[in-house]
Amino acid sequence: MTHLAATSPDQGRAHNPNAQGAPIKLRVEGLGKRYGNIDALHALDLDVRSGELLTLLGASGSGKTTLLQIISGLVAPSSGRIVIDGRDQTHAPAHQRDIGVVFQNYALFPHLTVSQNVGFALDMRGVSRAESRRRINEALAMVGLEAMHQRFPRELSGGQQQRVALARCFIYKPSLILMDEPLSALDRKLRETMQMEIKRLHRETGSTIIFVTHDQDEALALSDRICMMHNGRIEQIDTPQAMYERPSTVAVARFIGISNVLEGTVMQGDQLATADATVALPKGHGCQPGTPGALVIRPEHLNVVAADHGALRGTVVEAVYAGVETRIVVRLASGNLIVVRRLSGQAPLGIGSVVGLEWPAHPPHFLSV
């Protein structure tokens, strides 16, 4: 069974005021899934607090969707158990778990109007017509679609269809809401707008949400906590800020944001010998000489200096303008590529320029490998 050790004071606690100290809504204990000889999900433990928005983040094949499907009751686990609101739901059928799901493809009924789609869950629960009408109106107002209640899904944009799917899920106030990459089909601008909508709905309703995505920016923008998954295991679970600033493994550092990772061997005198240079380690790294380790340096913490002054030396091979910043790519002698973020307005660097790199104001984050 995998147990998660705290890596920071914030780890294990959501920063959503509605979730701080709240009771456990969902507890996963030793949950695993095996297909033949392949472990799609290794035995893991996870707690989700009431009112929290927890994101399952990872690349394809990391196990995040498998975990979501087991929680929802669509897939049976090979080991472990699921406890929701203190009740063991491991073998309960999906329709008895009081879980709402927002799918990637919206899953709207094409022959029903917006109002009928939103009210479908209430009809299935035998809610009176008057009460259903009141709650449908409230739900449509919540997502800003009051004027479109008589339209059919084919008459809506992708973003409007996703709002209908959200309203349909929130309307009957399920104990737990699962969102399986619900924004992946939208263009970037609309996806960012819908992220803000989901944050607003979460804040206003106090719902407990588990959100699945492979998009690191989406996870950082939405989450109270992020559960980073890799090869069917939990790599780290933490607040977005802590995970970005203090990743617990190289896999997390490479996946969350843009990271420059220098791997090498710890030497005497708090030094790390890498293929390109011997660089200083942050104090208190706690590793003995001879231990393999890595420094994680974020692009915004790097300064470009004269070639003979930096801790590292390399050649500019690319410059990408991105509005408020320009991303500079520097190739070191080993072939390792380092990304630097420079605010627009600074003197441009030509391709082929030999430069030095330093990080005086921000000590890099050290990881034992």
Average pLDDT over residues 230-247: 95
Find out whether 301 and 362 touch, Cβ atoms under 8 Å: yes
Find out whether 83 and 176 touch, Cβ atoms under 8 Å: no
Residue 133: both structure tokens together: 């009408």
Domain at 24-98+175-251: CATH code: 3.40.50.300
pLDDT, position 1 = 32
Q: What is the pLDDT of residues 106-117, one digit of tens each?
A: 788 999 999 999
pLDDT, position 20 = 63
As a whole number of Å, the CA-based R_g of the chain is 24
pLDDT, position 93 = 93
Q: What is the pLDDT of residues 299-340, one digit of tens each?
A: 999 999 999 889 999 999 999 988 889 999 999 999 999 999
Q: Return the higher-pLDDT residue of 269 and 278.
A: 278
Which H helix or E strand runs over 168? helix 158-170
Q: Which of 74-88, 214-228, 283-297, 330-344 has the lowest mean pLDDT?
A: 283-297
DSSP letter at 146 equals G
The pLDDT confidence band at residue 18, using thresholds 50, 70 and 90, is: very low
pLDDT, position 15 = 40
Which residues in the chain belong to E strands, given as ranges?
24-35, 38-49, 53-57, 79-84, 87-88, 99-102, 176-180, 209-213, 225-230, 233-238, 260-267, 271-274, 278-280, 292-297, 303-305, 312-321, 325-332, 337-343, 354-358, 365-368
pLDDT, position 19 = 60
Alpha-carbon distance of 54 to 212, in angstroms, equals 9
Find out whether 100 and 172 touch, Cβ atoms under 8 Å: yes
Domain definitions of the chain by residue range: 24-98+175-251, 258-368
Instruction: Tell the residue number behind the tokens 């699921």, with chain if given.
Output: 82
Fold of 258-368: OB fold (Dihydrolipoamide Acetyltransferase, E2P) (2.40.50)
Confidence (pTM):
0.85
Alpha-carbon distance of 184 to 171, in angstroms, equals 23
pLDDT, position 99 = 93
The pLDDT confidence band at residue 3, using thresholds 50, 70 and 90, is: very low
Helix (H, G, I), strand (E, B) or coil at 66: helix
Q: What is the pLDDT of residues 167-206, one digit of tens each?
A: 998 888 899 999 999 888 788 888 888 899 899 889 989 9
pLDDT, position 304 = 95
Find out whether 246 and 7 touch, Cβ atoms under 8 Å: yes
Burial of 158 (0-12, 13-18, 19+ CB in 10 A): middle
Which H helix or E strand runs over 65? helix 64-72
Instruction: Tell the residue number behind the tokens 């380092």, with chain if given.
Output: 338
